[in-house]
Amino acid sequence: MKKTRVLWLTLMSCNGNTHSFLNYPYIEQFLNDFEFIYHPIIDSDYTLEEIISQDIACDILLIEGSVADDFIKAGVPGIDIIKRYAKIVEKIVTVGTCATFGGIFRESNYKDVSGLHFQEERRTDKYNDLFEKTVSISGCPVHPEVLVSTLYAIKKGLSLKLDAYLRPKEYFSYTIHNGCTRNEYFEYKVDNHHFGELEGCMFYDHGCRGPFTHGSCNKILWNEVNSKTRAGLPCMGCTEPSFPKRNIFETKKNMGIPEFLPVGVSKRTYLTLAGITKAFTIDRLEKKLFDD
Amino acid sequence: MIKLIEKIEGEAKLNFSFKDNKIDDVSVDFMSTRHVEDILKGKTPLDALVINPRVCGICGHAHLIATVRALEACYEDIQISNKAKIIRELTLTFELIQNHFKWFYLTIFPFFGVKQEIAKALYPTQLMGKAIAVFGGQYPHTSYAIVGGVVCEVTNMDIIKVQRYIDETTDFFEKNVLSIQNSDLKTLNTLNDLSHVKGDLRDILKKIEQNDWQNLGKSYDRFIAFGESSYFKKGKSIKTRVTQNLAIDDVKETDSTTSFAKSVHYHDQYYEVGPLARAMIGKNPLIKDAHRRYGDSIFTRILARVYEIPQLLEHTKILIESLDLSEPSYIKPEVDISQLNAVGISAVEAARGTLIHKVEIEDLKIKSYEIITPTQWNLCGGHEQNLGVSQKAMIGLDNVKLAEMVFKTFDVCSVCTTH
């Protein structure tokens, strides 16, 4: 079968998505089915200068990094390269949170930094003609399996079910909370989490955004072995439009109730649930997991 | 003649001028920045732990460790368990190792008439990523080292798992890169001792000799390292004379008019940082022998970087054995960091050399943040009277392709350089 031709274009970025992609365990298989006309690290048939100055045949444009009109890439506005290839390709994929929502660098000193179609939650309407062509894969960085499998789905011509931010539902309908090994501490509201322990849930005090952040981190895991929340690091909501929030290691509360609640749970329901869970003490969850 | 250098975590522009068919001057310009230091201003101090790994996708973990140490340096007294210190050193070392593999197989290989070895680059890289993820949850971009220690608790089974990753990586190195055993590290003292050894590194070194390139890419023969650890020593080496007394306050940055990268100097002089610098300061016998023969050339620089891998792997084994799992991973600081009005400086050895972070906290917020990256030391341009390290190494070469190779032996990382 003909290889799908892909252009990996990096704009205002740390290249973290590039390196996260290199953690995909079966890259050689991937490269049997796809070829990069340009990639920030992997050798390609064309130089960046050729990519910029010519129209090279291409099927999918991957954009990594935030977009700004005044951001210059190798001597030309980055946005001009997007426009050139957007006409050529079948699909555009925004790779990572910067390219999708603006991400961490929307606070840089460029003008009006955003993702391709969104500035945080807001539709920018700048590239509306490209909206239909675009799939977003947010995450800071992108998860390699989510990226690769989505590219295969595009290659196969599958019609992907996408959410309002154009993210594949198959990955972004879950919350980070799903599959976290600390779930029981959340469910039964055992709220005395301390860093450095296997036990406890970071939602109540330490800013964990897992219950209201969309993604599959705890379903497919990172580097095939772990996740931030399993390790004891709060989810920072890195797949969402608002990333990065401020005071990341703190849970903001009003009258003792966390400002952000699990997706679909109202304050009233939360209070009822909290009241019920407070009524019972689960000895196993109060103790160390591996107590003698 | 202008040459765009690509595939260096971004791009750089080298502007060469030739005289008598030799490079007589070259300017090094990095063309974009992301203003990370400005983004940090006004943020809660702990948020720097999340923002700073995003300075760089390939050495972001070094930025995390530099950040947490700079924040902790704001305290007059803060307790960090030995266990947390060891775990941080382990994950930082894993990142160094994976960077070295990537650079060797993806960046250096293509200059020697061989294709990138993607599988060989990525297999050990992924193992090291897994080892970091066991402690940090994921790689890249974890923020698991926080003020007071690390967020993870570690079990015996975690240790066993990580030890297998280390063993597998060691095995891979010995089968592919250099056919030595760990025990050989003490007996490999001269280039002659290397002559019976096989592997991809040996092949590249042979090609350097066959092409008569072993004296290319020499610079000032001045090295510096500020990051101390259980393995690396702080110091500077000038033509093999090593001194330990360094004052980090004397490291200064200068703006450039043509490039977004600021140049870095110590007492107004440029120094090379990185594995070669560390080996010279640490007086590694094999690297010193290469240096005796070929000076600070690409031969010595490439050897020093790749030869750091087995030494670091060996060191991680020792570090893991010294972990006492009964210690706490995290000790909550008595005073919250945002309550301090203080300045904290840190220096760590990242894959490409010394990385310095400096934070100033005032009124619950970050007032200022300064980041000095290894690639600034090595790559930033000086001027005619005082050339930068990589500039000096390229002058006198007779073609641009060779200059690009010399430039990339320093391992360029555009995003770090400009941040």
Count of domains forming chain B: 1
Residue B144 lies in a domain: yes
Is there a contact between A163 and B116 (Cβ–Cβ < 8 Å)?
no
- The pLDDT of A194-199, averaged and rounded, is 97
Residue A64 neighbours by CB distance under 10 Å = 27
Closest CA to B116 of B417, B408, B415, B416: B408
End of a domain among A142, A170, A198? A170
Residue A165 and residue A195 in one domain: no
Among B residues 233-272, those touching chain A with beta carbons less than 8 Å apart:
none
Residue A34 and residue A155 in one domain: yes
User: pLDDT tens, A236-249?
Assistant: 999 999 999 999 99
Domain range for B267 = 33-380
Whole-number average pLDDT of chain B: 96
pLDDT > 90 in chain A, percent: 94
Among A residues 41-70, those touching chain B with beta carbons less than 8 Å apart:
41-43, 47-49
Indicate the range of A17-26, B21-30, B140-149 predicted with least confidence: B21-30
Token pair of A5, please? Answer: 């031709």
CA A251 to centroid of chain Cα atoms: 21
Residue B138 lies in a domain: yes
Count of domains forming chain A: 2
End of a domain among A109, A137, A170? A170
Interface probe, candidates B3, B4, B6, chain A, greatest A C-beta count within 10 A: B6
pLDDT at B160: 98
pLDDT at residue B196 greater than cutoff 90: no
Please, which pLDDT band fits residue B190 given cuts at 50, 70 and 90? very high
Closest CA to B301 of B104, B135, B19: B104
Residue A141 and residue A178 in one domain: no
Domain range for A222 = 174-292
pLDDT at B31: 86
Name the residue among A31, A141, A236 with its Cβ closest to that of B57: A141
pLDDT at A28: 96
Residue B346 lies in a domain: yes
Please, which pLDDT band fits residue B166 given cuts at 50, 70 and 90? very high
Is there a contact between B280 and B221 (Cβ–Cβ < 8 Å)?
no
Residue B353 lies in a domain: yes
Residue B363 lies in a domain: yes
Q: In one letter, which amino acid is B384?
A: E
CATH of residue B363's domain is 1.10.645.10
CATH of residue A93's domain is 3.40.50.700
Q: Distance (Å) from the C-alpha of residue A272 to the closest C-alpha of chain B?
A: 31
DSSP A132: G
Backbone torsions φ then ψ of B174, nearest 5 degrees = -70, -35
Q: Distance (Å) from the C-alpha of residue B330 to the closest C-alpha of chain A?
A: 5
- What is the chain A residue with the closest CA to B150? A196
Q: Is B26 left (phi over 0), alpha (psi -120 to 50) or beta?
A: beta
- Tokens 């940082």 belong to B273
pLDDT at residue B258 greater than cutoff 90: no
Name the residue among A225, A233, A248 with its Cβ closest to that of B151: A233
User: pLDDT tens, A128-187?
Assistant: 999 999 999 999 999 999 999 999 999 999 999 999 999 999 999 999 999 999 999 999
Q: Cβ contact (<8 Å) for B130 and A228?
A: no
End of a domain among A120, A144, A170? A170
Q: Which residues pair with A12 in a beta bridge?
A: A66
pLDDT at residue A291 greater than cutoff 80: no
Helix (H, G, I), strand (E, B) or coil at B403: helix
pLDDT > 70 in chain A, percent: 100
pLDDT at residue B383 greater than cutoff 80: no
Residue B255 lies in a domain: yes
Q: What is the DSSP string of A31-90?
A: HHHEEEEE-SSS--SS-HHHHHHS----SEEEEESBB-TT-EETTEEHHHHHHHHHHH-S
- What is the chain B residue with the closest CA to A206? B151
Q: Environment class of residue A257 by beta-carbon count within 10 Å: exposed (0-12), middle (13-18) or buried (19+)? A: exposed
Residue A72 and residue A182 in one domain: no
Please, which pLDDT band fits residue A69 given cuts at 50, 70 and 90? very high
Cα B221 to Cα B216: distance, rounded to the nearest angstrom: 13
**Is A194 an interface residue toward B (CB < 8 Å)?**
yes
**Is B138 an interface residue toward A (CB < 8 Å)?**
yes
Residue A113 and residue A217 in one domain: no
User: pLDDT tens, B75-102?
Assistant: 999 999 999 999 999 999 999 999 999 9
Q: Environment class of residue A37 by beta-carbon count within 10 Å: exposed (0-12), middle (13-18) or buried (19+)? A: buried
Chain A residues touching B39 at Cβ < 8 A: 104-105, 107-108
Q: How many contacts does A have with B, using Cβ atoms within 8 A?
A: 199
Name the residue among B34, B118, B135 with its Cβ closest to that of A28: B118
Residue A45 and residue A156 in one domain: yes
Is there a contact between B154 and B90 (Cβ–Cβ < 8 Å)?
no
Residue A141 and residue A14 in one domain: yes
Model ipTM over 0.90:
yes
Residue A178 and residue A166 in one domain: no
CATH of residue A207's domain is 4.10.480.10
Residue A81 and residue A195 in one domain: no
Name the residue among A196, A198, A244 with its Cβ closest to that of B149: A196
Helix (H, G, I), strand (E, B) or coil at B161: helix
